[in-house]
Amino acid sequence: MSHHQELQGKVALVTGGSRGIGAAIAKKLASEGAKVALSYSASPDAAHAVVAEIKSNGGDAVAFQANAADSAQVAKLVNDAAAHFGRLDILVNNAGVFELLPVTEVTDEVYNKSFDINVRAVFAGVREAAKHLGDGGRIITIGSVNGQRVPFNGGALYAATKFAVQGFTRGWAREFGPKGITVNVVQPGPIDTDMNPASGDFAPMLIPGLAIPRYGKTHEVADLVAFLAGPNSTYITGAAINVDGGMEA
């Protein structure tokens, strides 16, 4: 890499880093010089492909299997990442699940899974990472623009989980600020991924509501995460920053 690497010497953990936004974040942080641990739940091949790509570009990465719905596995993941690289500086809570259902069809099981993965995993990760993060540490959660606005039917459960991580982010900013650690949430709008492809059913409904009339690209989220993880964002904390093509404009 010829450019100055802003994250040289830092260690990052990206949950759900095997595909989509998580993979883009892992690659971007590595390109800025961070050593990257990433977790996956069910796609080891994809995760190891991300690791291989990072290594082929001169970076250092490792993949760990962890079920985000299990807080004990999340805690072990954080400690394994810190042990592997000897430290932990950046936690990116990216693992997530999206259920689109009317309230009458949300079973207790579906409700619990959504909150376990989208909220409790974030909580468990931060609780454990607090033991490792020092001055200059970074906690970044991938939320959703639906944490502010729900422009479609069936999105209440998902939105509630994303509102929850906003609440955690604001509260944690107060807790961690005196330690020199920032806590922020990045809220993507429609991003072209397997979960919500630009060619998918949602696109005709969502695109007319955007100021920039196209789906976002994963690197456009990753670039903001890298900025928040780096040395030029020291006074930004407790913030919810949209990467949404103006959906909220």
Strand partners, 141: 93, 185
- Cα separation, 146 vs 248, whole angstroms: 10
Helix (H) or strand (E) holding 37: strand 35-40
Q: What single-letter amino acid sits at 26?
A: A
Q: Which residues of 15-30 are buried (b: 16+ CB within 10 A; e: fewer)?
A: bbbbbbbbbbbbbbbb
Helix (H) or strand (E) holding 40: strand 35-40
Q: Which two tokens stand for residue 153?
A: 């039917």
- Cα separation, 234 vs 236, whole angstroms: 6
Give the distance, in angstroms, between the CA of residue 145 and the centroid of all CA atoms in the same chain.
13
Catalytic residue numbers? Answer: 158
